[in-house]
Amino acid sequence: MGNILIGVDIGGTTIKVGFFSIEGKILDKYEIPTNKNDNGNQIIPDIAHSITGKIKDLILKKEAIIGIGVGAPGFIVGDSGIVEEGVNIGWKVVKLGSELKEILQLPVFVGNDANLAALGENWMGSGNQASNFVAITLGTGVGGGIIANGQLLSGVNGTAGEIGHITVVPDGYPCNCGKNGCLETVASATGIVKQAQEIIDVNPQSNLGQHIAEHGRITAKDVFDLASAGDQDCQQIISQTGDVLGLVLSNIATIVNPSKIVIGGGVSKAGKPLLDAIKHSFSIYALERLTEVCDIDTAQLGNDAGIYGAAYLVKDNLVNNK
C-alpha cells in the first residue's frame, strides 16, 4: 500500500487540493479555479489533470497514492459517489466518484463538503478525534457535520447534518432551500447583513445607516468592526445571533451528547463576543448534564478543513478498517 492521501474540496469559486501523509501532515496544497461553465462539466477533468500534474511535479509514483477523497457541495447518497444535486456548481446527478476513478485509476471516496470539513477538524483540528462531535460552519450559508459514536452521520439520502436548514423563525426570511426562517437566514453572513438592514430601515441615522450611506453597502465584517468599536446595535446583532446558535446547538446536543462543538467559517471571525454569546445561550437552553461535558470552541483548520477531511475519508476507508 502507498503512504500518501489526497484530499479535494470543491468550492463554488476554487477547488482546493492537498497531499497528506497517513499521519495527517500536509505535504503540498494548491488551488485551481472552479469552471462552472457548461453545468460544471469541466470540473472533474480539471481535478484529474491537476492531480496528475502534481504527482509528476512531486516526482511520485502512482503506487504511492492510497486514494483520493473529494468533498462536494450538495447531496451525496451513502457510498455511491454520486452528487445528486450541487446547485452552486451546476451539477445534477453527477457520478463524481466513478468518473474520477476511471480517469485517474485510483480509489475515490466522495462526501458532502461540510461533513468532510467536520471530519477534518476532528482529525487534525480542535476536535481532537472526539467520538461525539459537532462542527458548524458560518459563512455565506451555514453548514454542519455531526460525528456520533465515531461515525459521521449522513442519513438515508445524505441530508443529515444540514444544520443550516433547521427552522428557527417559522415566518422568517426566505431561504435558498425554498423554506422560510432557516438558521442560515439568521446566522450566516447574509443573515447578519439582513439583521443590519432591518436596523437601517428603522433608523437611517444609526451608525449602520451612516456606514451604508458612505460606502453603499454593509457586510458582516462591517457589523463586527462596528460592534468592536462600541456600536450597541451591532453588539445586539451579535448577541441575537449567538442566542439563536446557542439554542440550535443545545437541541443538537440533546440528541448527540457531544464532548465538543466547534464553530468555523468567516462569521466565526467575530471572535470572542460571538463565541461568548453562543456559550451563554447554550448554558441557558441545554441540560446541565450536557453543558458539564461539552466544550464549545472555534475551529482551527480554517479553509483547509475540507481537504483534511477528504484525505481522512480515504484513510478511514482504506487504512483504519484494514
What is the total count of domains within the chain?
Answer: 2
Q: Are residues 177 and 228 in the same domain?
A: yes
Q: Are residues 278 and 308 in the same domain?
A: no
Q: Are residues 141 and 277 in the same domain?
A: yes
Q: Are residues 109 and 200 in the same domain?
A: no
DSSP SS3 for 310: helix
Q: Are residues 295 and 313 in the same domain?
A: no
Contact present, 253 and 259 (Cβ < 8 Å): no
DSSP SS3 for 319: coil
Q: Are residues 47 and 114 in the same domain?
A: yes
Q: Which pLDDT belongs to residue 1?
A: 67
Can you give the CATH number for the domain in which 203 is found? Answer: 3.30.420.40
Q: Are residues 163 and 63 in the same domain?
A: no
Q: Are residues 97 and 134 in the same domain?
A: no
Q: Which residues contact 48 (CB under 8 A, 6 or more apart)?
A: 100, 103, 104
Q: Are residues 39 and 143 in the same domain?
A: no
Q: Are residues 47 and 96 in the same domain?
A: yes
CA torsion 226-231-234-240 (nearest 10°) is 140
Q: Which domain holds residue 83?
A: 4-120+303-318
* E-state strands within 52-198: 65-72, 75-76, 83-86, 91-94, 108-112, 133-138, 142-148, 151-152
Q: Are residues 94 and 175 in the same domain?
A: no
Q: Which pLDDT belongs to residue 279?
A: 97
pLDDT tens for each residue of the chain, 322 residues long: 689 999 999 988 899 999 999 999 999 999 999 999 999 999 999 999 999 999 999 999 999 999 999 999 888 887 889 998 887 788 999 999 999 999 999 999 999 998 999 999 999 999 989 999 999 999 888 989 999 999 999 888 888 999 999 999 999 999 988 899 999 999 999 999 999 999 999 999 999 999 999 999 999 999 999 999 999 999 999 999 999 999 999 999 999 999 999 999 888 888 899 999 999 999 999 999 999 999 999 999 988 999 999 999 999 998 876 6
CA torsion 50-144-139-226 (nearest 10°) is -150
Q: Are residues 270 and 314 in the same domain?
A: no
Edge to edge, the sheet with strand 108-112 lists 26-33, 14-21, 4-10, 65-72, 108-112
- β-partners of residue 30 are 17
d(CA 282, CA 242) in angstroms, rounded, equals 9
d(CA 76, CA 85) in angstroms, rounded, equals 8
Q: Which pLDDT belongs to residue 158?
A: 83
State the pairing for strand pair 4-10/14-21.
antiparallel
| pTM score of the predicted model | 0.87
